[in-house]
Structure 1
């Protein structure tokens, strides 16, 4: 049989590369009501460093494949890392999902003497209003993660304000305070419009993050722990999620790893004070 000429071979090679490229990227998370490996709510925020699309919880990304959070500098009025030099980190949790898993995670945090910041979705608090007091009574901090967890960066300014304000009003009703922090939904960083709308709703600062172990993809507890501890530094703000069984299972090892490095897990308000 005559060997293919160079042009035919080149076309075949490009076709193979194109097929590989189409399936290689890690997908971000989506907003919705799907379930993960533990029957938890769908992931709360997309990984901004990867293309959007569905993620199979049965095939979590390995640490080698993990894409880091966006390296974009925070917008004016937004923070993602504290420069105090103190040996502290903030473990922040997007508040949604099975309240029993949330309760279990809070118990693990309190057993490890950690104080968390929970950025709650308003509709979640509407469905489980008892969780607002549970968070605060455990010594943790409660903030705003929009009312309906829409892709807020795609909204008009007035619609974005409505999302922020509705959650703020719910927090005020349940706890007597709208909380100190706002975190936008389905995006790591705010733009100038979102910072402005957050300020209109009473939030001086938008809280982003600089460490993301991708726990919403439901990797194993060991993978969550390894990813987080490999990236965390003094002053870090870590993004994690309530409602995921493997996150609950990972927390004791995460806290032990932080403690071994002399790092205390404190609320975001403590971290930036």
Structure 2
């Protein structure tokens, strides 16, 4: 794994200082396990982590319920015959496109801010949602889809899926798929393993059995889950991004929200158009 950036970069520009300061109060904190795993697990400062096992399987929180309005079902997973079973990037061809992918977890206000910044720039992204996060915030599933974004599966509890026995790993994949199906009518377009950039051979097979022809990895790690500062998030992406890149980012971090306008501006300056992963591979 790439060593986390130590230089947090220059202070945020004045026009974003207020945004960054305010969002930092609600951004998730970083656990030592997340640093070593390359995948975040944000929680609000001072808040106790809820044990997802304390809630019956498939049951949303009492304070949140999915929208009652009807809407078209989410797209089902697609097979891309030209792509490997585990996808790390798309075609390195023209017109140059990239996919910004977000691990779906953390404060929904920050998630909504990320989606809003992307939509303001005419950009659509890919969100891989954690199942227990959907239990806590079921309205986010439809919010993501209504914005024109891809929505997929990032396991039920966001644990180290590659280290699990077969039955437990299968339950992690199917548990999140069940929640996506209940909320949107589809198991989602993509599956990404939790706590690892790549899925083991077993997890790939279990994902296929659950209905996902491909697992989605990435070739650019923003390291935003290390909270290096907005400027560093932008630098980390720009240092590695190429046509066809799949970029790993996260909901739940103020640095990500603050970095997004400049990142999108710089990608546009390089002629790289951010699209959903489905569009990148189509």
Distance (whole Å) between structure 2 residues aligned to residue 162 and residue 49 of structure 1: 21
Partner of 1:183 in structure 2? Answer: 192
**Residue 91 of structure 2 aligns with which residue?**
83
- SS of 1:187's equivalent in the other structure is coil
Please, what TM-score do these two structures have when normalized by structure 1? 0.75
Q: Which moved more, 1:118-127 or 1:223-232?
A: 223-232
Two-structure CA RMSD over aligned residues (Å):
2.5
Query: 2: CA distance between counterparts of 1:49 and 1:154?
Result: 12
Pick from 242, 245, 264: which aligns with 2:273? 264
Change (3 A) 1:142 1:49: closer
Instruction: Give the aligned length.
Output: 219
Partner residue in 1 for 2:234: 225
Q: CA deviation at 1:227?
A: 1.2
Instruction: Give the one of 28, 48, 62 matched to 1:41.
Output: 28
Q: 2:251 aligns with which of 229, 242, 260?
A: 242
Match runs of 1:109-124 below 5 Å? 109-124=118-133
Task: Please list every run of 5 or more consecutive structure 2 residues that lacks an aligned counterpart in the other structure.
Answer: 6-22, 40-82
Give me the whole-angstrom Cα distance separating, in 2, the residues matched to 1:175 and 1:249: 29
Residue 21 of structure 1 corresponds to which residue in structure 2? none
The alignment partner of 1:115 has SS state of coil
- TM-score after normalising by structure 2: 0.73
Asked whether the 8 Å contact 1:48–1:188 carries over to 2, the reply is no
Q: Distance in 1 between matches of 2:242 and 2:4?
A: 25
Residue 162 (structure 2) aligns with: 153
Q: Specify every segment of 5 or more residues in structure 1 that has no aligned partner in the other structure, as ranges.
A: 1-24, 28-35, 53-74
Shift of residue 152 of structure 1?
A: 0.5
Deviation by residue 1:224-261 (Cα, 9 ceiling, x = unmatched): 11111111000000000001111000000010011011
